[in-house]
Amino acid sequence: MKKIKELTVDETFQLFLLIKNADVRIAKNGKKFIAFTFQDTSGTIDGKFWDASEEEIARFEPGRVVMLDGKREVYQGNPQVKIIHLRLAKPEEGQDPSQYMEKAPMKKEDMEEEINQTLFEIINPHWNRIVRFLLNKYKKEFFEFPAAKRNHHAFASGLAYHTTTMLRLGKAIVKEYPELNASLLYAGIILHDLGKVIELTGPMTTEYTLAGNLVGHLVLVDEEITQACIALKFDDKQEDIVVLRHMVLA
């Protein structure tokens, strides 16, 4: 069976897909429609379900697997699907959302090993313990969450993958400029986006939390650094900790 990314313009198809997002909106004629984002392991595609009834709105919720009969089109330069028919997948057809989620191109175990090895290169004891404390606190979320709702490594384990690749870039920069503070750079890279485990809801049907919308991941992780200092009995007014907070926030 084909994947979303393999569809060509004007191709008609029938695919089992995951509903990633289902935003209910009002059309110009006053009727409700659903703006869908469908997903499989290759990526996503948007489509609109016009004149949606209340029963259909309740039925086609994010996280449900559906059989989509559609036509691949282009709208304003972006791929989209014209929905011909839509129904929920039957139990015998497979209803496990995880089978349709796009995933990082690295195994979790490999990313965890690479990040853990980098921890030994953070030689400042305060930075090292703060990073370890927060990684342990949010280990499950860190290695499962996407890096964003859309576009920016917006797939399962995308946050860990983004961090891993950024660490590789950081190490390449340190190799060219050995006078840089590698410990600070690596600690900053790991912590910079860690607040997204609070900013986002998770890898499936990803949305922004209230704190994510109103506060943002940078301020959230800065608060986590302060809480880590309290737990570890560090003075968060010490110069090296203030420098770490600046590195994360800047």
Q: Each residue of 28-69: pLDDT tens digit?
A: 999 999 999 999 999 899 999 999 999 999 999 998 999 999
Q: Each residue of 84-96: pLDDT tens digit?
A: 999 999 988 887 8
- The average confidence (pLDDT) of the chain is 94
Radius of gyration of the chain (CA): 22
Q: Each residue of 102-133: pLDDT tens digit?
A: 889 999 999 999 999 999 999 999 999 999 99
Q: Each residue of 131-167: pLDDT tens digit?
A: 999 999 999 999 999 999 877 888 889 999 999 999 9
Residue 207: pLDDT band with limits 50, 70, 90: confident
**N-term to C-term CA, the chain:** 46
Name the token pair of 5. Answer: 């990314």
Summary count for the chain: helices (H), strands (E):
10, 5
Q: Identify which of 234, 22, 221, 231 has the alpha carbon closest to the alpha carbon of residue 141.
A: 221
Q: Domain 4-100 adopts which CATH fold?
A: OB fold (Dihydrolipoamide Acetyltransferase, E2P) (2.40.50)
Q: Are 31 and 50 in contact (CB under 8 A)?
A: yes
pTM comes to 0.80
Domain ranges of the chain: 4-100, 108-249
